[in-house]
Structure 1
Amino acid sequence: MKDAQQHRSLDDVHESVPVHQGKSKFKRLLSFFGPAYLISVGYMDPGNWATDLAGGSQFGYTLLWVLLMSNIMALLLQSLCTRLGIVRGKDLAQCNREIYPKRMNFVLYVLAELAIAACDLAEVLGMAIGLNLLFGIDILWGVLISFADTFLLLYLQRLGMRKLELFIVGLISLIGMCFLAEMFFAKPNLVEVVQGFVPTLPNTAALYIAIGIIGATVMPHNLYLHSALVQTRKIEKTPAAIKRALKYNFLDSTIALNIAFLVNAAILILAASVFHKNGMHDVAELQDAYRLLGTTLGSDWAPKLFAVALILAGQSSTITGTLAGQIVMEGYLRLRISPLLRRLLTRLLAIVPAVIVILVFGDKEVGQMLIFSQVLLSMQLAFAVIPLIHFVSDKEKMGAFAIGPVVKFFSWTIAAVIAVLNFQLVFEEVRGWLQALDNLAVQVLIVAAALGLLFLLIMTLVYPWVLKRKPTRLDVHSAFEELQFNAAASFRTILLALDFSKSDEKVISQALQFDPKDCSLVLVHIVESASVKYSGEHSNDLEAREDLARVEKYADFLATKGYDVRFELGFNNRVKAIKKSCEKYGVDLLVVGSHGHAGLKDIIFGETVNKLRHAVKIPVLIAQ
């Protein structure tokens, strides 16, 4: 448990949700509900819709059993993720870093990031298509508008994990209500719907669609995400508490993933009852489905509800993709970056390719980009599933909670089915690319990449069995034994940043803690008057003259206490001016006052302290 405490997954929300400790089982169950709903949105994202539409329009209700089988596979795999996160206290990325070699882990990290970018691409395109269908907004502008939701996740994360989960549940509920209304308009044949759950494959084309449905259902980033999200619950590390947590998380997963199954089934049933029934067997594009729904059902509400659900699906899925990106980056690279930067990078990796393709080829290639995103996801899935099964099978690490022979058999069977079907899907797509390309060098590059991925897959499977190595410590920070402690150096020159507010009292009080015989003081105040802002330079306006007189009063007071005091005014930019003064006087310590505001007020009034900490290369003392 020591490593888990030193490097916690989603550190800012780790064990932030208390579990109900009373006698009420229902309240205890509710306290565990939430993580699986964030996972479930990945199973109903816009990337799944095309395969569901194609399956329903071509083969009616025949492939409903494939959706059910995919859902059962997903439920087993997600339950393994919760087991790993709860028992080991580590997410999948952290466990990979512990077992696999450094270079191999880097490749696995790159593949995981590609999968997240591919998922985000599908969500960006889905939202853009939805905006286009509903409001007539150009696809390109819709893609750019989707960039705005970068800031939605940051706001939701500030509200706390439970509110984020509640927001996602709300979106899922709205999506479900949209398709419930669609079923009312479509009036499917219930007898034929039930018959669709009997396993059957009419032809090889149906097999290909079935592969696509399975490939688009299980999302690789969800495996990383779920193993981290379950750690947001604060549970005791006793066998009884862990067993109870596993049970409640399984119920959470069962309900959430069945909701996702019902949404996917509703899309397929809608396509079967509206398109297949009327002889429209080649509907796979989201835009085609939207246009045909209105003419076939004779209602304007049907296509509008379809577009609304599409926008909601894209919006909800993009949130989970960002969280997954944070997990894989911290787990594989031990690198934590600003949530805003993390979100911007994830979104740009999706938006830039989409914008380029739309500018070059136009809107007609949007459908192909959706397919391409699903192929990328398929390529990565096996690299997440295989290590997961290895880790939860390890009796040394999992103890009594390691999976048994029966679960292990079904897990490896599912892994084999997923690997074969996904590689079949990838093979078909790559073969199409090779046939369409005339450039031999590019063809060789594609084949070499495919062979490299195959070799990596074999290594992922074999390494934990044959080439075991000593686990790598997961500490984010240096080991205690590696640290060297020396006596603190004395501060010869101390700069006091003054803003003429109540915080100045605290800044001056901190300065008085130092012996006048050991240090000298530099007082700095930054003038930000209108004329300074306009000219960007020094000013001798009324405000600057009054500010200088006030700084002199501070200097005179400190001089009476025996301090050697110098003072000056800085102009315009607080951070740059204070940094310049620190360099000018060779300052050893910077003392600043806390501004006492956060959030929206930081945007309105400006935020100095945090920027200063990164701008200067000396200790910063924040007087609060």
Structure 2
Amino acid sequence: MGKSLEEVHESVHAHNKTSVFRKILAFSGPAYLISVGYMDPGNWATDIAGGSQFGYALIWVLLMSNIMALLLQSLSARLGIVTQRDLAQASRETYPKFINYILYFLAEIAIAACDLAEVLGMAIGINLLFGIPLIEGVLITVLDTFLLLFLINKGIRKMEAFIIVLVGIIGFSFIFEMIFAQPEMGKVIYGLIPSLPGHAALYIAIGIIGATVMPHNLYLHSALVQTRKLDRSAAGIKEALKYNFIDSTIALNLAFLVNAAILILAAATFYKSGMFNVSEIQDAHQFLEPLLGSKWAPILFAVALIAAGQSSTITGTLAGQIIMEGYLNLRIQPWVRRIITRLVAIVPAVIVISIFGEGVTGKLLILSQVILSLQLGFAIIPLIHFVSDKSKMKGFHIGKLTQTASWIVASIIVSLNAKLVFDEINGWLETSENPILLWLTVVPLAIGFLILLLYIVFNPFVTKSKIDIQNHSPHNLKLQFSKSGCYDKKNIAVSVDFSSADEVALNSAFELGGIDAKYTLIHVEETVGAMIYGGNVDDHETLIDEKLLNEYKEMLSEKGYKISTELGFGKPNKVIPQIINKGKFDVLVMGTHGHTNFKDLVFGTTVDRVRRKISIPLFIVKN
């Protein structure tokens, strides 16, 4: 994610547009990338199951989910626009490290569940259209990794255009499907009245909510809106909020129409014909031609399925990088991240299909969406807290009415999930031959997650966010303050990253220059915000690192050393040479963590690239 945003940051100028149409066009895009996650193959499975089992009765769940999604995505966009933080970064700033590790783990589970749906959907579409076996289709989906990287390298606008084309293919396919199916419009309207015909309907309804309101999209939207270059005045931010809301409204309503079309198609064909148990996408495809009397119906269905799977695959990748960087401050190469994410989804899919056969894919898809729904509360509740915080939002916090609506949405989602979990565990305990094992494992785990949920609900009300920099304090370093140096040139640059490598780098620099040299401490911010906004970034990590850099300077100055600092923004292998080549330095001292080979592939290399781009000696010290 960091690399992709680095290449496209502020590439879309969204201010100084003269007409309303041009302003809408400039801000259009992020919500379309989000909307594809709302019409991915996981939605298809829940919509088909809901339509075939309960007819038009659950259309109201789709409408309610869409309203919820619009509210929550607008909050996510507001967080990103105003604070220049994504949801993961804001969480890391607010909650203790241990809590953030758990939240990160839950978010990764959500991404794996989403990617499982994309893998299965793409594979099913390939199987239906070309007759390729399902397991081979699953393995083919690895190739979309490279398509994603190609599109990102071409720029954010081209990637958005590609997504809009795929959304158009899905939309037009279902327009024709509706013409073939000829649904009963009176029953469609009646389906907008809330009702839940039985416990099975609750399970499907929660799956629909999980498939529609997707937790990782909340993380992603707060980052994507930062690809627009804004006027950072109060009026400019207000304008950005307005046009991003318009973007979200159009894009998510299109997604709602697609989801409604799938459910209506299932109701008008399978439910009407008495086929109440069609939950497999393959069965739906097989029965469309005889029921609708058109050979084009199953072809359009398969084409739309492939388009849905391919478009939504982008969501998991970008969201995964945002979550990893925000919670863990860990950045790996995007292509490595993508392959890992895809393999996490492919391996269980291949194992389950191999053991239980292709007929289990529908149940897997619905399960993946229920998992997404169960994770929602852990993303929604922090988001509501953040956008309600006056200090964080700098005057752009949400009002009481929006806060109330947001908490009602969160309460509905959490309550439905709590009922589902309680009913499922209760059923397991009643039917299990060994309930003691469940009491020792599943029940404590459920109670633990309940306690975590209560903690993130109430913690921000009773505590203020704290900046803990003790672990990186320069006073913890064991420095040898050399008075005389062995190097005749005395303008020395030292790269610091607030790790154990700093101790070795600084000691080596002091041995070279002694007390008489001038030292410049260089640190480069690599956060997503730094990639996008450069020196204008205002995120938690930059605030901490500025403080640490000043602490380094103060402590070393007290020892009699002549210290200045340079804070850069972007990729270290690009920014450090720029700083060095602009200054009059005699030597650059860099510490290294000593990772090579595989770790170089994962984390990228800095030292080698810096060495090639500077014209002064580079002194490398190994930690």
Q: TM-score, normalised by structure 2?
A: 0.75
Query: Matched residues in 2 for 1:435 and 1:39: separation?
Result: 41
Question: Which residue is 2:550 aligned to?
Answer: none
Label 1:614 to 1:324 Cα distance change in 2 as closer, same or farther (>3 A). closer
Contact 1:97–1:472 (CA<8 Å) still a contact in 2?
no
Q: Residues 428 and 378 (structure 1 numbering): CA distance in 2 closer, same or farther, change over 3 Å?
A: farther
Counterpart Cα distance in 1 of 2:488 and 2:442: 61
Distance 1:285 1:48 in 2: 12
Matched, 1:362 2:357: yes
Separation in 1 of the partners of 2:206 and 2:378? 18
Map of 1:450 onto structure 2: 446
Which of 52, 68, 90 is the aligned partner of 1:95?
A: 90
- Equivalent residues of 1:133, 1:287 under 8 A apart: yes
Q: Distance in 1 between matches of 2:427 and 2:366?
A: 13
**2:292 paired residue number:** 297
1:401 is paired with a residue whose SS is coil
> What are the superposed Cα offsets for residues 76-104 of structure 1, whole Å, 9 maximum, x if unpaired?
00000011000111000000000000011
Give how far 1:230 is off. Answer: 0.5
Displacement of 1:15 after TM fit? 2.3
1:128 lines up with 2:119 in the alignment: no
Q: How does 1:42-121 map to 2 (within 5 A)?
A: 42-121=37-116
Change (3 A) 1:431 1:153: farther
Letter in 1 for 2:171: G
2-side partners of 1:64 and 1:390: how far apart? 30
* Equivalent of 1:230 in 225, 233, 238: 225
- 2:614 and 2:391 map into 1 onto residues whose CA distance is 49
Pair 483,22 (structure 1): closer, same or farther in 2 beyond 3 Å: farther
Structure number, greater radius of gyration: 1
CA distance in 2, matches of 1:16, 1:478: 37
2:616 equivalent to 1:621: no
* Shift, 1:620, TM fit: 2.0
Deviation at 1:301, TM superposition (A): 1.2
Written as runs of structure 1 = structure 2, the 5 A alignment for 1:260-299 is 260-299=255-294
Q: Deviation at 1:617?
A: 7.6
User: How far does residue 367 in structure 1 lie from its aligned partner after superposition?
Assistant: 2.4
CA distances 1:396-438 after superposition (whole Å, capped 9, x unpaired): 2213211111110000000000111133334445556666765
The letter for the 1-side match of 2:215 is P
Q: How far has the Cα of 1:333 moved from its partner? A: 0.8
Is residue 424 of structure 1 aligned with residue 419 of structure 2?
A: yes
Alignment match of 1:393 (pick from 388, 392, 417) = 388
1:400 match: secondary structure: coil
Q: TM-score, normalised by structure 1?
A: 0.75
Alpha-carbon distance in 1 for matches of 2:609, 2:196: 70
| Distance in 2 of aligned mates of 1:47 and 1:195 | 25
Q: CA deviation at 1:443?
A: 6.0
Asked if the contact 1:20/1:27 (under 8 Å) is kept, the reply is no
Change in CA separation of 1:333 and 1:399 when aligned onto 2, cut-off 3 Å: same
Query: Once the 2 structures are TM-superposed, how far is the Cα of residue 379 of structure 1 from its aligned partner?
Result: 2.1
Which range moved further: 191-200 or 97-106?
A: 191-200
In structure 2, relative to structure 1, the CA distance for the partners of 1:433 and 1:305 (3 Å cut) is farther
State how far apart, in whole Å, the 2-side matches of 1:618 and 1:12 are. Answer: 18
- 1:445 Cα deviation from its structure 2 partner: 2.1
Q: Which amino acid in structure 2 is aligned with residue 415 of structure 1?
A: A
Q: Is the 2:3–2:334 Cα contact (8 Å) retained in structure 1? A: no
**Any residues of structure 2 matched to 1:21-40 within 5 Å, and which?**
21-40=16-35
**In structure 2, distance between residues paired with 1:80 and 1:106:** 23
Separation of aligned partners in 1, 2:374 and 2:49: 21
1:261/1:610 CA distance change after superposition, 3 Å: closer
Contact 1:212 1:425 in 2 (8 A): no
Query: d(CA) in 1 for partners of 2:486 and 2:215?
Result: 49
Relative to structure 1, is the Cα distance of residues 14 and 376 closer, same or farther in structure 2, using a 3 angstrom cutoff? same
- Distance in 1, Cα, partners of 2:213 & 2:226: 21
Cα displacement (A) at 1:237: 1.1
8 Å Cα contact 2:46-2:366 kept in structure 1? no
CA distance in 2, matches of 1:436, 1:312: 42
- What are the equivalent positions in structure 2 for 1:490-569 lying under 5 Å apart? none
User: Residue 190 of structure 1 corresponds to which residue in structure 2?
Assistant: 185
Contact 1:215 1:422 in 2 (8 A): no
Task: Please report how far the alpha carbon of residue 442 of structure 1 lies from its aligned counterpart in structure 2 after TM superposition.
Answer: 6.1
CA separation in 2, counterparts of 1:445 and 1:620?
Answer: 53
The 3 A distance-change label for structure 1 pair 126 and 423 is farther
Q: Quick check: 1:140–1:355 contact (8 Å CA) kept in 2?
A: yes
Residues 454 and 268 from structure 1, CA distance in 2 versus in 1: closer, same or farther, beyond 3 angstroms? same
Rounded to whole Å, the distance in 2 between the matches of 1:400 and 1:203 is: 46
Aligned counterpart, 2:149: 154
Per the alignment, residue 139 of structure 2 pairs with 144
- State which drifts further: 271-280 or 333-342: 271-280
Please name the residue that 1:380 is paired with: 375
Write out per-residue CA displacement over residues 435-490 of structure 1, whole angstroms, 9 at most, x where no aligned residue.
Answer: 676565466322222222111111111111123341458x9x999x9999998968
Secondary structure at the aligned position of 2:10 is classed as coil
> 1:552 corresponds to which residue?
none
In structure 2, relative to structure 1, the CA distance for the partners of 1:216 and 1:428 (3 Å cut) is: farther
From 457, 460, 463, the equivalent of 1:461 is 457
Indicate if the aligned counterparts of 1:375 and 1:425 stay in contact, CA closer than 8 A. no
Contact 2:65 2:209 in 1 (8 A): yes
Contact 1:52 1:267 in 2 (8 A): yes
Aligned to 1:501: none
Give the deviation of 1:261 after TM superposition.
0.1
Matched residue of 1:468: which SS?
coil
Q: Contact 1:130 / 1:308 at 8 angstroms: preserved in 2?
A: yes
CA contact (8 A) 1:98 1:472 kept: no
Is the alpha carbon distance of 1:180 and 1:17 closer, same or farther for their aligned partners in structure 2, counting shifts above 3 Å? same
* Percent pairwise identity: 62
Alpha-carbon displacement from aligned partner over 1:118-156 (angstroms, at most 9, x marks no partner): 100011011111112222211111110001111111111
Pick which of 193-202 and 170-179 moved more: 193-202
Paired residue for 2:398?
Answer: 403
Counterpart residue number, 2:13: 18
SS at match of 1:337: coil
Cα deviation for residue 619 of structure 1 reads 6.5
Distance 1:447 1:615, change over 3 A: same
Q: Is the 8 A contact 1:9 1:231 kept in 2?
A: no
SS at match of 1:57: helix
Give the gaps of 5 or more residues in structure 1: 1-6, 492-587, 590-608
Is the Cα contact below 8 Å between 1:80 and 1:388 reproduced in 2? yes
The SS at the match of 1:242 is: helix
Aligned partners of 1:610 and 1:441: how far apart in 2?
A: 43
RMSD (Å) for aligned C-alpha atoms: 3.3
**Using the alignment, how far apart are the partners of 2:607 and 2:72 within structure 1?**
48
Do the aligned residues in 1 keep the contact of 2:280 with 2:362 (CA within 8 Å)? yes
Is 1:316 aligned to residue 311 of structure 2? yes
Counterpart of 1:339 in structure 2 is 334
Pick closer, same or farther for the CA change 1:292–1:174 going to 2, 3 Å. Answer: same
Alignment match, 1:548: none
Distance in 2 between residues matched to 1:92 and 1:117, nearest whole Å: 19
1:350 pairs with one of 342, 345, 352: 345
Q: CA deviation at 1:618?
A: 10
